[in-house]
Structure 1
């Protein structure tokens, strides 16, 4: 019987309105009633992930920034894996050389140099995941959503990351041209030491320290609780979920997952728009996976 469930958020737990459906909440509560712990493992920062969970009435431990920062249920930091400052500068050099918009997640919050670009890229992501929307509507949704998130706009990112009290936890690059622009930059970044490059959508690349991976973080949490990989279930849809799908004995890829990601999961569930997380949880309980 599983004892721990770790679920991705975007494209997995969250629906088209960036919320958690009643059916998903009901399944999570049923798992918790049976003594199974639920937690999220997301590329989002803590402040970005918390609102949707609070609105749904879910209190849980959180793996954030792909595993760079792990928090317990009360919000206390348990684990950190950051990027060296010199390496962070090299990453920014590569992104700028390829004209890729970027954001830097730190222990002090998320920083960006270009507010307009942030809205454009998030709108592109919304338009891709919800093709029935017009781009104008996607822009409006992006602006409304991003206004709720805690982000600081600055003029000089390099000066910021050199500050003694700043830890660089994740750097994410966005391009509306997708892999055509992002793939060459990824190749260059992978040549740098101690990094892992993944993605959570076609329009981004996410750069972390090699120890900041969801699979490593889930394993860390499970070990602390005396739980083996045979008693862990993971759910995800994109390439930043692969490490945890590979590690856990019970793993589900979403119906909307990338085809290559599905190859790394043992089971397939419905899409994030069809309560796929709830379906997977109830199946695991019913079939004693």
Structure 2
């Protein structure tokens, strides 16, 4: 029987409105009744992830920034895996050379140089995942969503990184042109030995230290709790979830997951618009997976 569940957020736990459905909330509460701990494992920073969790009344430990940071329920940081500054600067130079918009997550918040490009890229992501919406509506949704997030807009991120008290945790690059532009850039970045490149959508690449992976973080959390891999369940939809889907004894890919990602999971559940996380949790309890 499982003792720990780690779920991705975007495209997994969150629905089309970037919220957690009542069915998913009920299933998480049912898991708690059975003595099963629930936590999220997300590419988001903690402050980006908190609003949806707080709205749903879910108080849990969190793996954030793809495993670069792990927090307990109280918000205390218990694990960090940052990017070396020399490597971070090389990544930013490469992204600039390829005209790829980027954001940098640090120990002191998330930083961007271009507010307009952030809205444009997030709107493109919304329009892709919800094709029934007009682009105008997607822009409005993106603006409203991003207004809730604590993003710091500055002129020069390179100067920020040079500060002694700044630690780079994740760099995320966006391009409306998707893999056509991001693919070649990823290959160049992967030549830097201490980095790993994953993705949570067709329009982005996520760069972390090689030790900052969801699978590594979930394994560390389980070890700290005396839980074996066979007693852990993970749920995800994209390539930044693969490491934890591979490691866990029970793993579910979402119905909306990338085809290749489904190959790494033992089971497939419904989509994030159909309460797939709740369905997977209740199935695991019912069938004692």
TM-score band, normalised by shorter chain:
over 0.9
Secondary structure in 2 aligned to 1:43?
Answer: coil
Q: What residue in structure 1 maps to residue 45 of structure 2?
A: 45
CA deviation vs aligned residue, 1:111-155 (integer Å, no higher than 9, x gap): 000000000000000000000000000000000000000110000
Partner Cα distance (1:220, 1:154) in 2: 35
Q: Distance in 1 between matches of 2:105 and 2:193?
A: 19
CA distance in 2 between partners of 1:156 and 1:61 (Å): 33
Query: Would you say 1:164 and 2:169 are equivalent positions?
Result: no
2:62 matched to which residue of 1? Answer: 62
Deviation, 1:166, is: 0.3
Compute the TM-score of the two structures, normalised by the length of structure 1. Answer: 1.00
CA distance in 2 between partners of 1:122 and 1:71 (Å): 26
Structure 1 stretches of 4+ with a deviation exceeding 3 A read none
| Displacement after TM superposition at 1:243 (Å) | 0.1
Q: 2-side partners of 1:92 and 1:192: how far apart?
A: 13
In the alignment, what sits opposite 1:146?
146
Query: 1:286 Cα deviation (Å)?
Result: 0.2
Q: What are the Cα deviations for residues 182-218 of structure 1, in whole angstroms up to 9, with x where unaligned? A: 0000000000121100000000000000000000000
Matched residue SS, 2:70: strand
Q: Which residue of 2 aligns with 1:247?
A: 247
Note the residue ranges of structure 2 that are not aligned, 5 or more in a row.
Answer: none
The whole-number CA distance in structure 2 between the counterparts of 1:94 and 1:72 is 35
Partner SS for 2:144:
helix
TM-score for the superposition, normalised by structure 2: 1.00
3-state secondary structure, aligned to 1:27: helix
Trace 1:1-289 onto structure 2 (pairs within 5 A): 1-289=1-289
Tell me how far apart the structure 2 counterparts of residues 274 and 156 of structure 1 sit (CA, whole Å): 42
Residues of 2 paired with 1:108 and 1:48: CA distance? 13
Query: SS state of the match for residue 123, structure 1?
Result: helix
Residues matched between the structures, number:
289
Secondary structure class of the residue paired with 2:172: strand
Measured on the aligned residues, the alpha-carbon RMSD in Å equals: 0.3
Structure 1 CA distance, aligned partners of 2:263 and 2:96? 33
Measured in 1, the distance between the counterparts of 2:20 and 2:74 equals 20
1:204-257 Cα offsets, whole Å, 9 max, x none, are 000000000000000000000000000000000000000000000100000000
Other structure's SS at 1:251 match: strand
**Secondary structure in 2 matching 1:160:** helix
Distance in structure 2 (CA, Å) of the matches to 1:252 and 1:241: 10
Q: Equivalent residue of 1:24, what SS?
A: helix
- Give distance in 2, aligned partners of 1:285 and 1:97: 50
